[in-house]
């Protein structure tokens, strides 16, 4: 898969997650932490806004990286995306398995990005340098 396609899909997935957290932070918090109440719930909702802004920052960076040129640079970016999203996916999966959070959508979203990034990275390392 071409890096531009992977980064476009990554940006769209991130945009969806960010917008949902901005628009419905209470819903997202209730889905992940169904037993939260009172001030703890309020604090978790506040944290959702911070997380949404971080995801949006990644979306903006990802959007601007779509037009990178040079196979070596593209390979480095795709490797970084593979590693970063794999860490997030594995961490979220472990938290899900331990019963700390309910996080199926983030596991699926970050897993898809990690897999797409991996295939993009691998295809770049197998092709001869075109620059």
pLDDT score, position 100 = 87
* Average pLDDT of adjacent 10-residue blocks, the chain of 131 residues: 92 95 94 91 94 94 91 92 95 92 91 95 79 52
* pLDDT value, residue 101: 86
User: Cα(24)–Cα(88) distance, rounded to whole angstroms?
Assistant: 22
Find all residues with CB under 8 Å of 68, minimum gap 6, and list them. 3, 74, 77
Give one DSSP letter per residue of 37-100, joined into a string: -HHHHHHHHHHHHHHHHHHHHHHHHHHHHTT---HHHHHHHHHHHHHHHHHHHHHHHHHHHTTS
Q: What is the pLDDT of residue 130?
A: 55
Domain membership of residue 37 (yes or no) is yes
Give pLDDT, residue 1: 82
Helix axes 104-126, 71-97, angle to 10 degrees: 150
Residues of the domain holding 20 = 3-126
Is 49 inside a domain boundary? yes
pLDDT value of residue 131: 52
* pTM higher than the cut 0.85: no
Residue 131 placed within a domain? no
As for how many domains the chain has, the answer is 1
């Amino acid at each position: 898969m071409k890096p531009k396609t992977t980064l476009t899909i990554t940006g769209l997935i991130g945009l969806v997650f960010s917008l949902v957290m901005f628009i419905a932070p209470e819903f997202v918090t209730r889905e992940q932490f169904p037993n939260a109440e009172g001030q703890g719930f309020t604090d978790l909702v506040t944290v959702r806004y911070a997380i949404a802004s971080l995801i949006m920052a990644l979306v903006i960076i990802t959007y601007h990286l779509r037009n990178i040129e040079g196979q070596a640079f593209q390979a480095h970016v795709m490797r970084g995306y593979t590693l970063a999203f794999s860490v997030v996916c594995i961490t979220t999966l472990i938290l899900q398995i331990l019963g700390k959070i309910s996080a199926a959508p983030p596991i699926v979203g970050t897993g898809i990005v990690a897999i797409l990034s991996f295939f993009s990275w691998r295809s770049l390392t197998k092709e001869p340098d075109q620059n």
